Amino acid sequence: MTVGYNFLEIEKKWQDYWAKNQTFKAENNSLLPKYYVLDMFPYPSGAGLHVGHPLGYIASDIYSRYKRHKGFNVLHPQGYDSFGLPAEQYAIQTGQHPNITTETNINRYREQLDRMGFSFDWSRELRTSQADYYKWTQWIFLLLFDSYYCKKSDAAKPLSELVVQFEQTGNIHVDAVCDEKVIPFNSIDWSSYSEEEKQRILLKYRLAYLSDTEVNWCPELGTVLANDEIVNGVSERGGYPVTKKKMKQWSMRIGAYAERLLQGLEKIDWPDSLKEMQRNWIGKSTGAKVRFDIQGHDGQIEVFTTRPDTLFGVTFMTLAPEHELVDQITTQEQKEAVAAYVEASAQRSERDRMSDVKSISGVFTGAYAQHPFTKESVPVWIGDYVLAGYGTGAVMGVPCGDQRDYGFANHFDIQIKNIFEGADISKEAFTEKGNTKLKDSDFLNGLTYKEAMVSVIDKLEKDNSGEGNVNYRLRDAIFSRQRYWGEPIPIYYRDGFPVGLKPKNLPLELPEVEQYLPTPEGAPPLGNATTWAWDIVNEKVVSNTEINESTVFPLELNTMPGWAGSSWYFNRYMDSGNSEAFVSKEAVDYWQDVDLYLGGSEHATGHLLYSRFWQKFLFDLNLLPVDEYAKKLINQGMILGSSAFVYRKKGTQEYVSKNLIANVEVEPIRVDVSLVNSSNELNTEELKKWQPQFKDALFVLEDGVYLVGREVEKMSKSKYNVVNPDLICEQYGADTLRMYEMFLGPLEQAKPWNTAGISGVHSFLKKMWRLYHPNDSFSVSDSPASKEALKTLHQTIKKVTEDIENFSFNTCISSFMICVNELTAQKCNEKEVLEPLAVLLSPFASHFSEEIWELLGNKTSISNAPFPVHEPKYLVESTKNYPVSFNGKMRFTIELSLDLKKNEIEELILKEEKTQQQLQGRVPKKVIVVPGKIINIVG
C-alpha cells in the first residue's frame, strides 16, 4: 500500500495517461470558444534545458490549463527554432552535420519537457530546419520578392500590378516605397528598356531586394561576423582585425511598414515598456529634408533635420565618413587626412561610435556647401558621430541649438551663431522649443518654434531646396547570412539578376557540403556545394559543372537569418501538417490569432518586430485575417545562475576559503555549482575528481569547511552554473518544481535560481496530500463542511482566480499555502471542500490533482473539470479593527460575524465612519466611505 505522497509514481502515471489519451490535442473546430496560448519556441542548444527555460512554459501551461477548466478550446503548441549559429559552430569544429546535432538536442529537450508534464499538443510540433516547414518560409520570401508597397492603398501589392502600371503610364503616377529616387519614365520609355534595365528598376520596388550594405568583414577568417562575435574591435575567434565592407545583400523593406508597426501598437495588449522600446526603435521624427548645393560640384548634400527652424544658425555641415560624396568633394590638401579618418572609423563598430560621446573627432573636407537661403559658404566636415544608416547620413550643424553640434563647433573652433532672442549660449546650446523667438533669421525673425517650422518648410518647398519630411530610425532589415545552417534563399541568377523559383519547386533543400566554413575565395559556405545550380528546363537542382548561359544558372549562396523561420511559426501551428498551404483558410479563420504570447523581453526589437511585419505583409495579400498576431504578450524574466568560485593562491595548488582571501593574492576560478551545498560549502573530495587541475588541491578551511564565493550571472554551460531540472524532478517531482519556479517571484522579474526554498513548496504538497489521507489511506467525508471551511475555500477560490487572471502566480501559491494550513487546523475532511480544492490546484500541480481527482472517484481527466466559482455567500474579512487615515476618502476595516444582514453592516459602517472622524481630529473635505475589503455584501 502506498503511504504518503509518491510523486514519482504519480507523475509517471499521468504523463503516460495524457500521452495515451491525447488529452491536450486541440481540434480545429469546436463549439467552444477558442483560446491560443503560445510560448516562444526554444533554440535547442547543446547544454540541454536548464531551470530557466521552463519558467515561461510553466506560466503559460498554468494559464492554458486554467482556460481549459473555464471551458475554452485551448491550443497550446510547442516546437523548435532549430536553425542557428551554435550548431554550425559545432559543425565547423567537429565536422558533424548540424542536422545531427540539432536532432540530438531536440530529443533531449523533448525528454526534459515531457518530465515536467506540460499540456502541449505535440501533434502540431514544428521545426524551422525541416524542409516541410522551411518550404513555406521560402514561399513567403518569394511573395515578398514579388511584391511592392503601394502608398496609396497603404498595403503590399503583387509586383505584377506594378508592371501593368509601368506598361500603361510609366512610374509617373506610381506612389510606392522604393530604395532610392527612381528616374521618372513613361510607358513608352518602359517598353524601350532592355529586360536588364526593367529588372534593375523592379528590384528597387521589391519588398525583398538586393542592395549594397555594410557588413563586419574579417579578412583573416574570410567571413562576415555578427557584432556579437566581435570583442574589443577584433574577432572573438582568433582575435583578428575586423573592418567594414560593402556587400550585395538581401534586405527586407520593413521601413515601408514603419508607420503601421507604430500604429498597430495601440491595439495590442503588450507591456507598455516593450511597446515603448518598439516605438523608440522605429523612432519616428518629423522635420524636413534640406538640400545644400556644393560649391564647385554638381551634386547636392541632402540633410534631414528635426529643427529646420534653426536653418539660419547653420555654420557647418557634417557627413558620415561612409557618405558617398566624401570622395568626390574632398580637396587635394585634405585628401590624406580624410582618408586616414575614414579608414580609422571603418575599424570602429557602430555601437562604439554611438556610445562614445565624450571624444569629439572629425576632419574638414576642404569643401564648402552653400546655404540655400543666405547663399553663404558653409564648411563641410566629416565626423563619425554621424551614422551613414540614419536619415541621409549627413547633418547640418547648428551649434547654438544642438548640444552635439555645439561641442563639435567648440572643439574645432567653428563659428557659433546665436539665432535665439535672449538665449545665453556662452556655455551650452539652447535646445528649448517653447516660445523663444528667432533672430538673425531673415524671414523667420520674431517667430516661435512652431510658427517658424511651418514657414521654413513652406519656403523650402517653394524654392525646391527641401521639403517637410518624416524620418524613421528603423532601418531595412538585412536578410542575407553568410552561413550554412539556415534556409536557402530560393533564388537563382540569370544575367546577374535574381529570379525566384516557382512555388511548385519548393522546398529548395539545403545542399550537402564538405566544409561548413566560407570558401577560400570568401564566398559563403554554400559556395562549397558542388550540386548547387538551377536547371530551368527540368526545374531541378543540378551540379555546378552544368552551369551554362541558357538553361542552368547559379543559385543564391546566402541563407536566411535566424529570424526568418520565427516570423510566422505561430500561424503554422494552427495547421502544422498541411502540405498544400502554409496554413489552411479554415484553420486560420477558426484560430485567428494568439490570445496569449509568453516570452522574454530580449526579443523586443528583433523577433517581436519582424514577426509583426510579416504578419502585416501576409495580411495585405489576404492570406491572414488579422494584421496583429498576438493580442496579449507577457515577458517572463530570466532565471539567472549563481556561479560558485574557489580562490587559488597565485602560483600554488592552495585554495583559500572565501572569508580568508583578504590579504592573499588569489585568482577566482569557477567551479560547478553541483559541488556546493546550499550553505556554500564545497565538497572538496568531489572537486578533486571533477577536473584534473584540482587533483592535488590543498584547501585552507575556515571553521572546518571550505566556503565558495557566489556571483549572479546568466545561466550558461561555460559558467558551470547550470541547474538541470531533471535532478529536481527526481528529488521533488515536477509538480514541486513547477510550483517552486512560480513561487520564486513575479513572473516578469529576473531572478537568481536558488534551490534553498524548494522544501517549502514540497512540504505544502505533502501537507495537502495528508488532507485527503488522514490516516495514511485515502478518506474523505460526504457530510457537509463547516462554515469555517467553506469560508476558507471561497476565500481561496476568489484569491486564486484573481491571481491567475493577473498572472500573479507567486502570491497565488501563498494563498494555497494559507488555505491548506487553515484546513489542516480545522481538520477539514469534507469532499464538499476538498474536491473543488483539487480542481483549483490542477493548473499548478497537475499530476497531483489528477491523482486526487481519480481517488475521489472520477473517471475522466481533471483537465476539463469546471473551475470552481467564488460564491460570495460568506463575508471575507480580517479580524483586526483599526483606524487608518484619510485623504478625501476614508478607509477602515470592521470585524464582522458571518450572519449579519446587509443593513446591519451598513449601520456598522456609518457608526465607524463617525468614530473615525472624531479619532482623526481633522475634518476631511469630503467623505467617501470605502469600507476596506467589504465588497461582497449579500443579503
Q: Is residue 2 within the footprint of RNA (CB under 7 A)?
A: no
Minimal distance, residue 332 CB to RNA, in Å = 35
Q: Is residue 757 within the footprint of RNA (CB under 7 A)?
A: yes
How far is C-alpha 809 from the chain's CA centre?
Answer: 22
Single-letter code of the amino acid located at 699? F
Q: Are 515 and 509 in contact (CB under 8 A)?
A: no
Q: Is residue 808 within the footprint of RNA (CB under 7 A)?
A: yes
Region binding RNA by CB under 7 A among candidate stretches 78-86, 197-205, 697-705, 725-733? 78-86
Say how far apart CA 393 and CA 302 lie, in whole Å. 9
Minimal distance, residue 926 CB to RNA, in Å = 12
List binders of RNA among 503-562 (CB under 7 A). Answer: 561-562
Q: Is residue 691 within the footprint of RNA (CB under 7 A)?
A: no
List binders of RNA among 370-389 (CB under 7 A). Answer: 389
Region binding RNA by CB under 7 A among candidate stretches 54-62, 82-90, 721-729, 776-784? 82-90
Q: Which of 103, 50, 30 is closest to 715 using CA atoms?
A: 50
Per-residue DSSP letters for 397-439?
E-TTT-HHHHHHHHHTT------BTT---SSS-----SSPPB-
Per-residue DSSP letters for 620-682?
HTTSSS-S-SBSBEEEPPPEEEEEEEEEEETTSSEEE-GGG-TTS-EEEEEE-GGGB-TTSBB
Q: Is residue 433 within the footprint of RNA (CB under 7 A)?
A: no
Say how far apart CA 75 and CA 593 lie, in whole Å. 11
C-alpha cell at 317: 555641415
List binders of RNA among 558-577 (CB under 7 A). Answer: 561-563
Q: Is residue 710 within the footprint of RNA (CB under 7 A)?
A: no
Judged by beta carbon, residue 299 or residue 606, the one nearer RNA is 606
C-alpha cell at 3: 503511504
List binders of RNA among 840-899 (CB under 7 A). Answer: 878, 880, 882, 884-888, 891, 893
Judged by beta carbon, residue 701 or residue 818, the one nearer RNA is 818
The residue from 227, 374, 431, 777 that contacts RNA (CB under 7 A) is 227
Q: Is residue 84 within the footprint of RNA (CB under 7 A)?
A: yes
∠273-278-283 over CA atoms, to 5°? 120
Q: Is residue 709 within the footprint of RNA (CB under 7 A)?
A: no
Q: CB-based burial of residue 80 (10 Å sphere; 0-12 exposed, 13-18 middle, 19+ buried)?
A: buried
Judged by beta carbon, residue 24 or residue 149, the one nearer RNA is 149
∠225-229-232 over CA atoms, to 5°? 110
Q: Is residue 351 within the footprint of RNA (CB under 7 A)?
A: yes
| DSSP-derived pairing of the beta strands 284-294 and 243-252 | unpaired
Minimal distance, residue 312 CB to RNA, in Å = 28
Minimal distance, residue 736 CB to RNA, in Å = 11
Q: How far is CA 10 from CA 404, 468, 772, 852, in A?
A: 66, 69, 15, 10
Q: Is residue 121 within the footprint of RNA (CB under 7 A)?
A: no
The residue from 203, 478, 700, 905 that contacts RNA (CB under 7 A) is 478
List binders of RNA among 157-176 (CB under 7 A). Answer: none
C-alpha cell at 171: 512610374
List binders of RNA among 263-282 (CB under 7 A). Answer: 272-274, 276-277, 280-281
Q: Is residue 283 within the footprint of RNA (CB under 7 A)?
A: yes
Q: Is residue 826 within the footprint of RNA (CB under 7 A)?
A: no
Judged by beta carbon, residue 30 or residue 885, the one nearer RNA is 885
| DSSP-derived pairing of the beta strands 466-472 and 284-294 | antiparallel
List binders of RNA among 762-781 (CB under 7 A). Answer: 763-764, 766-767
Which residue has 520593413 as its cell numbers? 254
Q: Is residue 925 within the footprint of RNA (CB under 7 A)?
A: no
Q: Is residue 789 within the footprint of RNA (CB under 7 A)?
A: no
Q: Is residue 43 within the footprint of RNA (CB under 7 A)?
A: yes
Binding residues with RNA: total (CB under 7 A): 95
Q: Which of 223, 252, 259, 264 is closest to 240 using CA atoms?
A: 223
Minimal distance, residue 277 CB to RNA, in Å = 5
Radius of gyration of the chain (CA): 34
The residue from 6, 243, 445, 810 that contacts RNA (CB under 7 A) is 810
∠355-359-365 over CA atoms, to 5°? 105
Judged by beta carbon, residue 157 or residue 481, the one nearer RNA is 481
Query: What does DSSP assign to residue 556?
Result: P
Say how far apart CA 690 and CA 684 lie, in whole Å. 10
List binders of RNA among 595-634 (CB under 7 A). Answer: 600-607
Judged by beta carbon, residue 259 or residue 350, the one nearer RNA is 350
Minimal distance, residue 544 CB to RNA, in Å = 23
Q: Is residue 247 within the footprint of RNA (CB under 7 A)?
A: yes
